[in-house]
Amino acid sequence: MKQFFLSVILALTSFAMSAQDAIRVRYSGAKPTITDFARAYCHYMDTLQETGDRPSNAIKHALECRDKGLPLDEGETFVVNERAGYIAYHAQHDGCFIEMEMCYWNEKDGKHKLFAFNNMASLCDGKPLFTETSGIDFLRYDNATRTMTFCDDPGVEVHYGNAVYSLPCDGKDITVTVFDEDGEVTDHILKWNGRRFLP
């Protein structure tokens, strides 16, 4: 378990993307599910040329175990809520709590969905855990083309070093938990308006 956990930590230092690529989302049925989006995103990350593990590998590994009916390693949990369009991977080790989330929102135009991959949710010794590549990826899915592309910030200003972000498993809003220098912890809600988030 420790080896896989360390690979997740190393992933946060080797993560990269190309914002120009259209990512094909393959699915059966009337519309894609959160697992369809997750598989498409993880597959795209596998096509990048950078070496080393990536944060998305943790979710890819968990999905593979789920498909095969295999248990996760000790200290790991994996949540898939298809109805809510939400996925979360958790791992605990040596005082650190690693969390990665995926989620999607239906946009009000009825033609697009917004997908997010969050690796800004981890804590170590009760404080936010970050690397130089920590962040939140947002991609916009087009129902007509069945592809998604990296998009501009939809109203989520990322505070590096002093905040963690929680995507919604219930509801539609993002919670930003800010850790002040004096030790005070404050939650801020970013409200979804059908296209972007408002403070």
Distance separating alpha carbons of residues 165 and 190, to the nearest angstrom: 10
Distance separating alpha carbons of residues 169 and 180, to the nearest angstrom: 26
Q: Is residue 98 exposed (0-12), middle (13-18) or buried (19+ Cβ within 10 Å)?
A: buried
pLDDT (0 to 100) of residue 36: 98
Report the share of the chain in percent with pLDDT over 70: 86
pLDDT (0 to 100) of residue 183: 82
pLDDT (0 to 100) of residue 15: 41
Distance separating alpha carbons of residues 2 and 142, to the nearest angstrom: 39
**How many domains would you assign to the chain?**
1
pLDDT (0 to 100) of residue 50: 64
Closest CA to 197 of 164, 179, 162, 171: 171
Q: Could you list the residue range(s) of the whole structural domain that residue 181 is in?
A: 2-198
- Ranges in the chain, pLDDT < 70: 1-20, 49-53, 132-133
CB 118 within 8 A of CB 101: yes
